[in-house]
Structure 1
Amino acid sequence: MATVSAKVFEHHKKTDGTYNVKICVHHKSDRRYFDTVHYVVKKQLTAKMRIKDSFVNDLVDEQLKGYRKVISELGEKINFFTAESLREYLREKDADVDFIKFCQMHIEQLKKEHRIGTAGTHRTVRNSLIDYFKRDSVSITEINSNMLVSYERFLRGKRTMTRIVTEDGQTKEKASNGLSDSGVHCHMRDLRTLFNAACNMYNNEDLGIYRIKHYPFKKYKVGSAPLTKKRNNSLEEVMTIRDCLTKVGSRAELAKEIYMLSFYLCGMNAVDFYHLTKKDVRNGRIDYNRAKTQGRRKDNAFISIKVIEEAKPLLEKYIEKLSIRYSTYGVLDTALSQGMKQLRIQTGIPAATIYWARHTFATVARNACRISKDDVALALNHVDDEHRTTDIYIEKDWSIVDDVQIKVVGLLRRLDMKMAAKQKKETSLENVA
Structure 2
Amino acid sequence: MASVKVKFRASSVADREGRLYYQIIHNRVTRQINSGHKLLPSEWAALRAGLLRPDCKGPRHAYLVALKSRIVEDTARLERIIARLEHTGESYTAGDVVARYLTPSDTGGFFSFARSLVGQLRQIGKIRTGERYTTVLNSFGRFRRNTEVSWDEMDSDLMIEYETYLKSRGVCPNTSSYYMRGLRAIYNRAVEKKMTVQRDPFKYVYTGIGKTVKRAVPLKVIRQIRDMDLALFPAMDFARDIFMFSFYTRGMSFIDMAYLKKKDLQNGILSYRRQKTGQQLFVKWEKPMQEIVDKYDTNATPYLLPVIRDMHADARRQYKNAAHLVNDKLKKLGEQLGLDIPLTSYVARHGWASIAKDRNIPLAIISEAMGHDSEKTTRIYLASLDTSAVDKANSRILKAL
* Residues 361 and 102 (structure 1), Cα distance of their counterparts in 2 relative to 1, 3 Å cut: farther
Distance (Å, rounded) in 2 between the aligned partners of 1:395 and 1:107: 41
Distance (Å, rounded) in 2 between the aligned partners of 1:389 and 1:369: 22
* Residues 249 and 19 (structure 1), Cα distance of their counterparts in 2 relative to 1, 3 Å cut: same
Distance (Å, rounded) in 2 between the aligned partners of 1:110 and 1:368: 44
Q: Amino acid of the residue matched to residue 157 of structure 1?
A: S
**Sequence identity, in percent?**
24
Aligned-pair CA distance for 1:104:
3.6
Aligned-pair CA distance for 1:260:
0.8
2:307 pairs with 319, 322, 328, which one?
Answer: 322
Q: Amino acid of the residue matched to residue 184 of structure 1?
A: S
Distance (Å, rounded) in 1 between the aligned partners of 2:358 and 2:59: 81
- 2:58 alignment partner in structure 1: 50
Superposition pairs for residues 13-412 of structure 1, below 5 Å?
39=37, 41=39, 48-51=56-59, 97-108=108-119, 118-135=129-146, 137-158=148-169, 178-200=170-192, 203=193, 210-217=194-201, 219-248=203-232, 250-293=234-277, 300-317=278-295, 319-324=304-309, 328-351=318-341, 352-372=343-363, 374-386=364-376, 394=383, 397-410=386-399, 412=400
Distance (Å, rounded) in 2 between the aligned partners of 1:118 and 1:375: 30
Distance (Å, rounded) in 1 between the aligned partners of 2:325 and 2:7: 56
Q: Amino acid of the residue matched to residue 336 of structure 2?
A: Q
Contact 2:159 2:205 in 1 (8 A): no
Contact 1:232 1:357 in 2 (8 A): yes
Distance (Å, rounded) in 1 between the aligned partners of 2:340 and 2:306: 30
Deviations 1:374-400 (A, max 9, x none): 322211112333357768x95973223
SS at 1:355 equivalent: helix
* Residues 358 and 113 (structure 1), Cα distance of their counterparts in 2 relative to 1, 3 Å cut: farther
SS at 2:59 equivalent: coil
Contact 2:270 2:285 in 1 (8 A): yes
| TM-score in terms of structure 1 length | 0.62
Contact 1:362 1:376 in 2 (8 A): yes
Distance (Å, rounded) in 2 between the aligned partners of 1:403 and 1:112: 43
Larger radius of gyration: 1
Q: CA RMSD in A?
A: 3.9
* Residues 128 and 287 (structure 1), Cα distance of their counterparts in 2 relative to 1, 3 Å cut: same
Q: Amino acid of the residue matched to residue 399 of structure 1?
A: S
Distance (Å, rounded) in 1 between the aligned partners of 2:176 and 2:337: 31
Q: Where does structure 1 differ by over 6 angstroms across 4 or more consecutive aligned residues?
A: 12-15, 42-46, 112-115, 388-391
Distance (Å, rounded) in 1 between the aligned partners of 2:196 and 2:189: 11
SS at 1:311 equivalent: helix
SS at 1:323 equivalent: coil
Aligned-pair CA distance for 1:309:
1.4
* Residues 180 and 407 (structure 1), Cα distance of their counterparts in 2 relative to 1, 3 Å cut: same
Distance (Å, rounded) in 1 between the aligned partners of 2:321 and 2:155: 35
* Residues 301 and 96 (structure 1), Cα distance of their counterparts in 2 relative to 1, 3 Å cut: farther
Aligned-pair CA distance for 1:268:
0.6
Aligned length: 314
Distance (Å, rounded) in 2 between the aligned partners of 1:232 and 1:111: 35
